[in-house]
Structure 1
């Protein structure tokens, strides 16, 4: 399916045209039909001569209803721009063109209506001159916007219009059906017996009946983050099991009231999007003098407070300049934004589009120090150069790579899922996959690899009798997440075992007498893993407090209490044994299963409780904790 916004004219010239093309009434309200003026978004659809379905979003033309117009045009990649032959270019035409230009709509068709009332050529020439200076003028055949003159009253020119619409749809890029879903809601209502229904333009991805989506950007806030289930779908008035972008859809939802979702909210793939209240954006001027590339000649001096229109949302923002071509926007409410998203800033007081924007970074660093804004502007310069080439086929991926590189340089280590949520799916040239779903800046990773042996050497000097450096200590000193420590240790050629880090070949050794005694204990425990040696047995072997401490540091024994020692693998072995018992179990049942005494069973179970392997219940029985594992750091 293809979706086209019909824009440009203030009266019913375009609505009449849509009605003739589709046989449907796009004006939903009686007030609209009475006044001959489109007030809110209208929707209609048809099939083109080549069999492709085409949906129209009929947007209002009057300046009082520009926010409604933007809600309909924001998610749409193509526009049918309408000018009346008997009226020519109007002020509303200029504002609509400025909006489409700011939104970066690059695929379009000029339609001169009411050709039965006046010669269409003067209006056509005038409109083409204006369109040529916008983003619409950069994608047509030969660099001009295709045009056709029609009469909605007589039907003259409609065949030519259908031919041009077929050509327009064939020029449109093909959306990715596997992309993460972000459906901007433009209507929300209730249907008796069905519940809440929302409509919107799905630009990419696929929605299937039964899917779970997350509410995002809620103006009311009551639905933000709520999971909703898709209980039914319609496209072009027909029930469907699934639908892929681009498409006009209606979704019947379970789990949310119609008052909880409204125009400008979004339904997104759960966990795949990051909602942000701060974003750095590239600016571009709009209108006939505007550069067709994002980040072109900037937008001049902007007011400190404007309204950001993106998708179907309209959110007040505070604007902080970052040089002439970029700004930081602080939103009144969070929105699911990604690098490359297009929108516009509108000044509602002056009734004009202030600038077009392209989202560069939806998770920028704070600007807390003096001069931070100036430094950030310098950092964004190469990104702005890439943003200025957004008309090139490879530009979106290149822009994402630049921003991903910037993000990695600022943060050092980032989860891959976080980059994807920001619209940065590919690693930049200086990015590395470092395991455990993490990626790193190459410079930062090299620094970690060189620092790890230095930190270990320092620890060995501080603790000469230690068997190794505790893994948590090294992790904290390096400032890395626990999941990445094995990768760091491996890359630095260090040994990570039993919660300790050592240099290869430096495993702690014991004096021969102590070694012999520890081996005797190991032999005893190999036969009966939970029969901890009595104090007399330890004394007989010559294992006093210091010797036992050395054996524990060497990783040969595990001290459960001052008088109870077992093999290091005892907690894991106990977990496997206890897992075979009926849950929950008593201390007595555990003791029998482990083949030991209360002297050992009580502190061992307490150790397992502490590590989250078992849970003690109010009646003093225990059960194995769900998904219980024995943690590092024995």
Structure 2
């Protein structure tokens, strides 16, 4: 489907023309038909050369320009209408300025009422005005809605226009700007809009604007027919379950859940008047929304807009600024940054303009935050500008700075807690406040390891405090004389060795704990195997105890340790044999 909006001065025959093209009545309201004046948006459709064309018929009167903008805003193509008997008029200029500000690039010029006056001069004059705008040189046709003259040529040009229109992204996140909402007896609330990208299906959930409330899609219609799925581009009517039609209106947006971010402040690049020439209080139009805004100049063509209410916007979105007091559209705008930094300091606006002029806004955003979830960048309209770590886009210098900071924190912890196994990883994560994937990458860059929940340097031999060193040496001397005469708990306490000290000595490779409060020299296991080799097999715990010259307090955990390491084998009767290398 192709969706085309009309544009042009009041009473130049827009509604008559689409009525002649489609055979449908675009004026829905009794007042519109009684006065012969389009007041609200009208929607009609037809097939041209085997393809569906939907027309959004907009009002041409100056009082209804906001309504016209709501119809044109979400649409990529226009049927621009100028009457041969009146020629170019004020609303022709305002509508063209709006199309140029929105950046509409596809259209057809129709000079209507060709049965009343020679269309050639008006056609030439209109093309001269349209060509310098975003529309460029458009095809032009002289027609008469009353006699039908020129309609075949206009249909041919519309078919060619359809060939030129860009292909929509049907996998894009849905953002449906609402242009009508009403209630249908027995069905509930129905909203309509132009689906410019994405796909809608019955059963989908849609979020309503900033409320974040989700409503299931109960039914879909397009061009008067029910559908299970509607793909962009399309005019679509959406029946929503659980939504009161009074809670949704023109300018609201139905959104793919979780895919969009709302903003009240955005940095933009202007197209049209220079920033300093704009009034400070204007109305911003994006999609079908019209929101009062405050304009803060940043540079010649750069400005910050502060909206009266939040809108779901992304970088790359286009809109326009309207001055209702002067009945003019002084500028269009392109969204550069929908989440700009605060401007608090003197000179901040000037610095921000320099940043926008010389930098990629996405890159600057990532640098400001250090690390940004890739899904968040997507929701703001950006791709990953540089480095990524897992699910995160990261500032180029962040991994290096993070690795340096991790090393500093681990070193500081070691100095302050010499008996500790290392810096608890949760403490490190809390201090750095970074995602787990970034912390893992930083640890890999430093060569540090995480074991049993603490971060340590595997290349560094732990150094014991002097008091602990003296106590460990005393134990070492005792064990050198009697390798399996492990000191009693009281002996260890007497020399000042508690559980933390013993754990630190073991990490330093100075002692071997085989059970709580039972420590031997690091080579005790090898020495035990050497001694046990001299016993007949199988041997009992008592035999092993006597051979080792120790007590059951030591012998039992020592043998269990040898079992665990596969150096002895315990039988069901409690006896043991040594495991030989070939067994």
TM-score band, normalised by the shorter chain? Answer: 0.7 to 0.9
* 1:125 corresponds to: 124
Give the Cα separation in 2 of the matches to 1:369 and 1:228.
Answer: 43
What is the aligned partner in structure 1 of residue 208 from structure 2?
Answer: 215
For 2:253, the equivalent position in structure 1 comes to 266
Mapped to 2, the partners of 1:554 and 1:70 lie a distance apart of 77
* Corresponding residue to 1:445 among 396, 399, 403: 399
Supply the distance in 1 between the matched residues of 2:148 and 2:192 (Cα, whole angstroms). 30
CA contact under 8 A between 1:339 and 1:359: conserved in structure 2?
Answer: yes
CA shift in 2, pair 1:129/1:495, >3 Å: same
Out of 471, 481, 484, the position equivalent to 2:438 is: 484
- Compared CA separation, residues 552 and 258, structure 1 to 2 (3 A): farther
Question: In structure 2, do the counterparts of structure 1 residues 285 and 553 end up closer, same or farther at CA, with 3 Å as the change threshold?
Answer: farther
What is the CA–CA distance in structure 1 between the aligned matches of 2:102 and 2:291, rounded to whole Å? Answer: 15
Q: 1:411 aligned to 2:349?
A: no
Q: Which residue of 1 aligns with 2:294?
A: 318
Tell me, yes or no, if the aligned pair for 1:498 and 1:555 is still in contact at 8 Å.
Answer: no
Aligned-pair distance for 1:482? Answer: 4.2
Distance 1:199 1:546 in 2: 78
Whether 2:145 is the aligned partner of 1:191: answer no
Q: 1:538 to 1:88 in 2, by over 3 A?
A: farther
Q: 3-state DSSP class of the match of 2:399?
A: helix
Partner of 1:11: 11
- 1:360 paired to 2:336: yes
**Displacement of 1:483:** 4.9
Please give the per-residue CA displacement for 1:419-443, whole angstroms capped at 9, x wherever unaligned: 011011x222xx21112x2110112
Report SS of the residue matched to 2:387: strand
- Which SS does the other structure have where 1:65 is aligned? helix
- Partner SS for 1:44: strand
User: Does the CA contact (< 8 Å) of 1:514 and 1:547 recur in 2?
Assistant: no
Deviation at 1:554, TM superposition (A): 9.0
**Equivalent residue number for residue 169 of structure 2:** 176
**3-state SS of the aligned residue for 1:167?**
helix
| Correspondence for 1:237 among 221, 224, 236 | 224
Instruction: State whether residues 282 and 327 of structure 1, in contact with CA within 8 Å, keep that contact through their aligned partners in structure 2.
Output: yes
Pick aligned residue for 1:203 from 196, 205, 210: 196
Indicate the SS of the match to 2:135. Answer: helix
1:302 aligns with 2:278: yes
**1:12–1:37 CA contact under 8 A, matched in 2:** no
* Conserved 8 A contact 1:284-1:299: no
Distance of 1:369 and 1:357 partners within structure 2: 26
**Deviation digits for residues 142-180 of structure 1, max 9, x if unmatched?**
xx1111111101111111111110111111111111000
1:249 match: 236
> Do the aligned partners of residues 485 and 514 (structure 1) sit closer, same or farther apart at CA in structure 2, a change above 3 Å counting?
farther
Deviations 1:580-612 (A, max 9, x none): xxxxxxxxxxxxxxxxxxxxxxxxxxxxxxxxx
Q: In the TM superposition, what is the alpha-carbon distance from 1:552 to its structure 2 partner?
A: 6.5
Between the aligned partners of 1:39 and 1:158, the Cα distance in structure 2 is: 25
Find the counterpart in structure 1 of residue 524 from structure 2: none
* Cα distance, 1:264–1:468 mapped onto 2, change above 3 Å: same
Residue 231 to residue 551, structure 1, CA distance change in 2 (3 Å): farther
Structure 1 residues 353 and 450, CA gap change in structure 2 (3 angstroms): same
- Cα pair 1:507 1:554 within 8 Å, conserved: no
CA contact (8 A) 1:264 1:314 kept: yes
Question: Do 1:514 and 1:543's aligned partners in 2 also have CA atoms closer than 8 Å?
Answer: no
**8 Å Cα contact 1:468/1:553 also seen in 2:** no
**2:103 paired residue number:** 104
Normalized against structure 2, the TM-score is what?
Answer: 0.80
In structure 2, distance between residues paired with 1:419 and 1:551: 50
Could you tell me how far apart the structure 2 residues matched to 1:339 and 1:369 are?
A: 25
Are residues 1:147 and 2:140 paired?
yes
How far is 1:463 from its partner?
A: 2.5
Of 155-164 and 506-515, deviating more is 506-515
1:605 aligns with none
Q: Which moved more, 1:403-412 or 1:38-47?
A: 403-412
The alignment of Structure 1 onto Structure 2 pairs a total of residues equal to 493
User: 8 Å contact 2:110–2:140 — kept in the other structure?
Assistant: yes
Structure 1 unaligned segments of length 5 or more: list them.
Answer: 138-143, 218-223, 287-297, 384-401, 518-536, 557-564, 567-634
Instruction: Kindly provide the CA deviation profile for residues 230-259 of structure 1, in whole angstroms up to 9, marking residues without a partner as x.
Output: 010001110001111111000000121101
State the SS of the aligned residue for 1:406.
helix
The CA deviation at 1:102 is 0.4
Counterpart for residue 36 of structure 1: 36
Q: What per-residue deviation string (whole Å, max 9, x for no partner) do you get for residues 600-633 of structure 1?
A: xxxxxxxxxxxxxxxxxxxxxxxxxxxxxxxxxx
Whole-angstrom distance in 2 between the partners of 1:476 and 1:374: 36
Give CA-to-partner distance per residue, 1:33-60, whole Å, 9 cap, x none: 12121111000011111x1111000011
The equivalent position to 1:432 in structure 2, one of 376, 380, 387, is 387
| 1: CA distance, partners of 2:213 / 2:404 | 45
- Name the CA shift for 1:552/1:66 in 2 (closer, same or farther; >3 Å): farther
Higher alpha-carbon deviation: 53-62 or 471-480: 471-480
For the aligned residue pairs, the C-alpha RMSD in angstroms reads: 2.6
2:46 maps to what in 1?
46
Cross-structure match for 1:329? 305
Query: CA distance change for structure 1 residues 465 and 41 in 2, over 3 Å: closer, same or farther?
Result: same
Aligned to 1:386: none
What does residue 77 of structure 1 align with?
76
**Could you report, residue by residue, the CA deviation over 1:209-238 in whole angstroms, capped at 9, with x for unpaired residues?**
000011115xxxxxx211011010001110
State the alpha-carbon separation in 1 of the partners of residues 9 and 310 from structure 2. Answer: 33
Gaps of 5+ in 2: 476-486, 508-515, 518-583
- Tell me, in whole angstroms, the C-alpha distance in 2 between the residues paired with 1:15 and 1:268: 31
- SS of aligned partner of 2:277: coil
Could you tell me whether the CA contact under 8 Å between 1:12 and 1:38 is conserved in 2? no
Distance 1:555 1:42, change over 3 A: farther
Asked whether the 8 Å contact 1:78–1:105 carries over to 2, the reply is yes
**CA distance in structure 2 between the partners assigned to 1:165 and 1:541 by the alignment:** 99
Decide whether the 8 Å contact of 1:227 with 1:255 is kept in 2.
no
Q: Deviations over 1:453-498 (max 9, x none)?
A: 2332233223322211122443344442345322221233221233
The reply on whether 1:505 has 2:444 as its aligned counterpart is no
Inter-partner Cα distance in structure 2 for 1:320 and 1:120: 45
2:557 paired residue number:
none
Distance, in Å, in 2 between the alignment partners of 1:45 and 1:538 is 95
CA change 1:500–1:125 in 2 (3 A) is: same
Task: Provide the secondary structure at the position in 1 that maps to 2:339.
Answer: coil
Shift of 1:129: 0.7
- The corresponding residue for 2:265 is 278
Return the alpha-carbon distance in structure 2 between the equivalents of residues 124 and 190 of structure 1: 43
2:59 maps to what in 1?
60
Tell me: CA distance 1:20–1:538, structure 2 relative to 1, closer, same or farther (3 Å). Answer: farther
Cα deviation 1:109-165 (Å, max 9, x = unaligned): 11111111111111111110110111001xxxxxx1111111101111111111110
The alpha carbon displacement at 1:447 in A equals: 1.8
